[in-house]
Structure 1
């Protein structure tokens, strides 16, 4: 009989630098095994070909994963002109090859067209679902489905290098942006086609790749020392204002009672008891502060 693995409670956020060539879920399961964590999740995926910032959440921190799913992101993308693939990246089958006669000036002019609010048609090789099945399953079966264009925002595109037929750009964009689609659209606008040959995510919201750790670094330390590489759950909600509660207010909030203050605020806030992060609360029209999403009491994410 196979012995059941007993997982332990681990709470916090790991800002991981995902390596190339492994799925986001593969990275998550490896980190979960190293931490022996009972509950784990991630804040959006990266394709196996991509590397870079992938925040992983454990325990009570998983309750706030959506906050980063909605955040703006920054990528460094390598694009090769003249070659189109069925997936839009280097892992796909080549569909067509075209001669490339593109100058840096022409490239810069085209890049400027994609800054701002644009429409993108999601690629068939994506995890978007149709009738409960991801689009990539239809694509692998040779089925092409109609997809509605989506509006996304490209805040900035910076050309980092150009050595025809390849160039590298830094892209700051809204959630839901497909960098593969952007690469293909740029190639179409230049008249020679293109695909993505590399992708690295360097920023999500306020979090930068410089603060991340690698799987190798996580594996290099032992036991409880790995817990020290985790940040507290409130790292995911630092963009909200802070409200501190006394012991009585903390007890009332945890019991589901709304709180009234001399001066009401608006929207979501992060709340803290005398010693710990409690979760999110929301100001309602009645002028009271109501619990929105609370962590389990006794949770290990301490207010630092």
Structure 2
């Protein structure tokens, strides 16, 4: 088999907080020696499931990228930040909403919603990644995107921190949803991508395509 195409398959990783998704990809590539890609990244502060594609599976990236994703997040509703996460500059601080006000706000975010893409994102603005412009202090008007929120449930709400469980479509930024609620993501963990769960994560295991692809068909 040509160099870089073995092993071929899907690798599920549980990313910790801190390292970038690309560093996880590089670590796996270094160990296997195979061409390795991803099917959607996580911000450095976030944790949870990454789907890595190895060898010939990299040609199927679009198919995996389109899968719905489930997250658990804690949104700090006492203030907004420039990046929508705990690493950004604090833009404002305020009293958190009352329970009934929060429920109304959540109702308005279910379904299809058009929101601004966060400044610290990988979207390209005039050929440059938005997060690079943000780090340079360049202020740009971020484009909006229609995001799909299939499920959005309030798990708990204490001292201005709302814990949410949500299922969203591809291309949805949870940080944008947090910002729309008047807060920022204090914690974000991806627990599912399509039929794959974070509990299955094992960087040392390569799931063969003949095992992974039928699982995609099951969710249609």
User: Is TM-score (shorter-chain normalized) higher than 0.5?
Assistant: yes
Quote the residue 2:145 is aligned against: 150
Structure 2: distance between partners of 1:140 and 1:212: 32
Quote the residue 1:27 is aligned against: 24
Instruction: Identify if the C-alpha distance between structure 1 residues 61 and 7 changes in structure 2 by more than 3 Å, giving closer, same or farther.
Output: closer
Larger radius of gyration: 1
* 1:149-175 Cα distance to aligned partner (Å, 9 max, x none): 211211110111111211110111111
Secondary structure (helix, strand or coil) at the match of 2:216 reads coil
Cα root mean square deviation, aligned: 1.9
Secondary structure (helix, strand or coil) at the match of 1:28 reads helix
Asked if 1:39 corresponds to 2:16, the answer is: no
Q: Residues 1-304 of structure 1: matches in 2 within 5 Å?
A: 9-34=6-31, 36-100=32-96, 102-187=97-182, 194-213=183-202, 218=203, 226=204, 229-234=205-210, 235-236=212-213, 238-240=215-217
Quote the residue 1:267 is aligned against: none
Secondary structure (helix, strand or coil) at the match of 1:65 reads helix
Structure 2: distance between partners of 1:55 and 1:125: 22
Higher relative contact order structure (alpha carbons within 8 Å, sequence separation ≥ 6): 2
* 1:238-265 Cα distance to aligned partner (Å, 9 max, x none): 4349xxxxxxxxxxxxxxxxxxxxxxxx
* 1:203-231 Cα distance to aligned partner (Å, 9 max, x none): 11111222222xxxx4xxxxxxx4xx211
5+ unaligned residues in a row in structure 2: which ranges? none
Paired residues of 1:74 and 1:201 also in contact (CA < 8 A): yes
Structure 2: distance between partners of 1:139 and 1:120: 18
- TM-score (normalizing by structure 2): 0.90
Structure 2: distance between partners of 1:208 and 1:8: 25
- TM-score (normalizing by structure 1): 0.67
Structure 2: distance between partners of 1:109 and 1:132: 38
5+ unaligned residues in a row in structure 1: which ranges? 1-5, 188-193, 219-225, 242-304
